[in-house]
Structure 1
Amino acid sequence: MTKRLYVDVHILQTVPPANLNRDDNGNPKEAYFGGKRRSRVSSQAWKRATRMHFAERCGPQDLATRTKRIAGQLAKRLQERTGIAAQDAERIAGAVLKPMGITAGKKAGDTAYLLFFGRRQLESIVGLVADDATDLSALEDKALEEAVAGLPVREQLQNGHPADVALFGRMVADIPGLNVDAATQVAHAISTHATELEFDYYTAVDDENTADETGAGMIGTIGFNSATLYRYATVGVHQLQENLGEDKAAIEAIDLFVDSFSRSMPTGYANSFAHRTRPSLVAVVVRTDQPVNLVSAYERPVPNGDGVVSASARRLADEYRTATRQWGDAPLLTAVCHTLGDDDADGTELAEAFGTNKTFPQLLDALKAALGAELDAR
């Protein structure tokens, strides 16, 4: 059995007035924690933001897409590669996918649910029929289905996973063989302090109003709040190795994830609030026992006042020191990058807990080196 190995990522990030992730009423999502209302950003929102950031580090062909339109995507690629008519490409794509038993959606050509698959995996499926596409397009529907029935289509989706499928997994309820266990768990981000929902009342003026016309052309409200968020995610390196099949690919995927998880931001109402910030603190911990979310540092909310992020950082450092001491933890690596003062009380407490302050590139390099050394030793 592969030994367990986890990379925990702890982030503190201050966000100005914003509506990063709205609820069914259009207001920022919230949660009660420690008996107080907190700002919340769902794990799904930040996972998508992270995946979208992947595109800045990887080419499109090295990533995955989540869509109901796998048949349409397959037909489009088949037509581009072979030059056959669009209608013929659609017939072949439908016949190729039919033996898999994917439940059809209400709209023609759609599946009943979103499928998460790699673009290279789709190209591999195209490769199974591309050379024979002209001959296949001449067959009647029944003969076409018989001709492609034995092709290893499912195997193309079971192997060669891109980093984002390997990290976030894939669930296909009616085809368990296509499931991929996620190597990554992402917590809902919550504010380290109590928050209150506020509303921005806005008006828009009609530019074509004449001098004697008054009043607004549009009136509305947007809910918002501002917060210092605690964000947490963990990557099971052993599961990632299984999903990707090699140590080097797993290390590169973790580097990609930590970089993108740290730099990404959900885009809800971005044009209205310009809320994009960078974290004040990123800490990584490599463990061999189990993931440890340090949100208990904020069960008692940080008082709203001067220096919320500084107080939050000290709380995090104290919680980490206490947890490692009381539970006898011995992490393989602890590293931190922060923008708080190195020489004041904040910097001293953070250094005692997480080590010397590093630049973010140095943190990523230290993480890769520690993982490489540990995997080489196994």
Structure 2
Amino acid sequence: MSDKRTIIEIHALETAAGNLNRDDTGSPKTMEYGGYTRARVSSQAWKRPTREAFRNLLDPKDLGVRTKRVVEVLSGRILERRPDLDASLAVKLAETVLKDGAGIKLDKPRAKKNAETDDALQQSKYLLFMGNRQYDRLADIVVDNLDQEDPVKAIKSKKKTIKQIVSNDHAVDVLLFGRMVADDTDLNVDATAQVAHAISVQAVDSESDFFTAVDDVKQDSDEEGDAGAAMIGQVEFNAATYYRYANVDADRLNDAIGDAAATAKAVAVFVQAFLTSMPQGKINTFAQGTLPDLVVINVRDTQAVNLVGAFERPVEPDYIQHATEALVRREQEFDAAYGITPLHTWVVRVGDDTAAADELAERTSMREMLSEVESFVAERLGDRLPEQE
């Protein structure tokens, strides 16, 4: 195996106004950085819309399902193959596969208040992230053993095969974001992508939006003594230019997928999904569907480098212009000081305020960048396929 590394970095500056990611009090999340309060969007809040964007970019078979309702999902796959099978038997066999075969701990969910019956299916004790292909393969094992004298016993005898299917999960999103199973570390999958919390490049104070909700019928009544207000309230929000950062270790991803072309496609899809996705918090109120003003993609063979230190001192208006200049200066200084100049850099930008990024690379479009990133990664990984080692 070559010791060359292929790490793809994503740096982006994006402006949004709203309450993208709120804390337990309903306020936009913040953090102290450089002695100033910054707007913050947690990595988890951006990972989910990124993963949801995969649905429009990849074959669903290459993706995973993150749920506690594993028995429901697997029994459903079994019934898709054998619709004539009794549903209760499909559930029993699904439980056998998951509990006795894969070693996943199952438990009855808490009964709903005032429920007349407790017919809820067992669930895993934790959210389990598992690929659609794995569910399909597990369902096939059940169907293949239905004609046995004792299907339950037959399935239990396939424990090694079942464990291997679940352990060797090649779903793209599972490989990118990882899976942790505290009860059985053999089922853990190390994430090949890292996503940082997005923070504002400037100091930010939250605003409060006072609102009223009008009762349409009350408003039309001549007998009422007001304008029809039926409810009042307030919602906190802020406006910020965020520095967003993520990276993908293409080598580790390729180790799991085993195909350079497929790995390169997965990398390009991750880049696209991360850049074009947006957390949905209060989206109907603020419609925060923005896109980055600046995108810098680096491929390094040294190590991943987060450039957030460019904003340790808050930038002043104009935020995009000054943030771009700070980001470019930070990368150039790091490259000169540590000898970590990227193998290749792409710049996608909008407007004159991002012109300083042309010092890093020639300006290109998102479509061209994604195509070239995929080709670059595929070519770089191509000499490291298992059969060529």
Q: What TM-score bracket applies, with the shorter chain setting the length?
A: over 0.9
Distance 2:67 2:23 in 1: 23
Equivalent residue of 2:58, what SS? Answer: coil
Q: Deviations over 1:190-228 (max 9, x none)?
A: 000000011111110111112222252111111100100
Q: Deviations over 1:93-133 (max 9, x none)?
A: 11122223222245151111000011111001001121333
Q: Does 1:8 align with 2:15?
A: no
Distance 2:290 2:258 in 1: 35
**Is the 8 Å Cα contact of residues 95 and 144 (structure 1) preserved in structure 2?**
no
Q: Does 1:195 align with 2:204?
A: yes
Letter matched to residue 103 of structure 2:
G
Paired position in structure 2 for 1:301: 314
Distance 1:158 1:242 in 2: 14
Letter matched to residue 253 of structure 1:
A
Q: How big is the shift at 1:14?
A: 0.6
Equivalent residue of 2:66, what SS? Answer: strand
**Is the 8 Å Cα contact of residues 71 and 98 (structure 2) preserved in structure 1?**
yes
Equivalent residue of 2:208, what SS? Answer: strand
Normalising by structure 2, what TM-score?
0.90
The runs of 5 or more residues in structure 2 that have no matched partner are: 110-120, 385-389
Residue from 359, 362, 383 that aligns with 1:356: 362
Q: Deviations over 1:270-301 (max 9, x none)?
A: 00111110100111111111110000000000
Residue from 309, 328, 331 that aligns with 1:320: 331
Distance 1:250 1:218 in 2: 53
Map 1:257-268; keep pairs closer than 5 Å: 257-268=270-281
Map 1:64-143; keep pairs closer than 5 Å: 64-83=64-83, 84-99=85-100, 100-107=102-109, 108-133=121-146, 135=147
**Is the 8 Å Cα contact of residues 310 and 340 (structure 1) preserved in structure 2?**
no
Paired position in structure 1 for 2:162: 153
Which segment is superposed worse, 155-164 or 64-73? Answer: 155-164
Equivalent residue of 2:98, what SS? Answer: helix
Q: How big is the shift at 1:60?
A: 2.5
Residue from 368, 371, 381 that aligns with 1:375: 381
Q: Deviations over 1:324-346 (max 9, x none)?
A: 111122311111100032xxx85
**Is the 8 Å Cα contact of residues 29 and 40 (structure 1) preserved in structure 2?**
yes
Q: Deviations over 1:326-368 (max 9, x none)?
A: 1122311111100032xxx852x3111x211001111112212
Q: Deviations over 1:212-258 (max 9, x none)?
A: 22252111111100100000001011110122122111101001100
Distance 2:272 2:165 in 1: 29
The runs of 5 or more residues in structure 1 that have no matched partner are: none
Distance 1:286 1:340 in 2: 24
| Percent identical | 40
Q: How big is the shift at 1:61?
A: 2.5
Question: How many residue pairs align between the two structures?
Answer: 364
Distance 1:2 1:70 in 2: 39
Distance 1:184 1:2 in 2: 20
Which segment is superposed worse, 124-133 or 312-321? Answer: 124-133
Letter matched to residue 109 of structure 1:
Q
Q: Which runs of 4+ in 1 moved over 3 A?
A: none
Distance 2:234 2:164 in 1: 51
Distance 2:96 2:328 in 1: 57
Residue from 245, 257, 261 that aligns with 2:258: 245
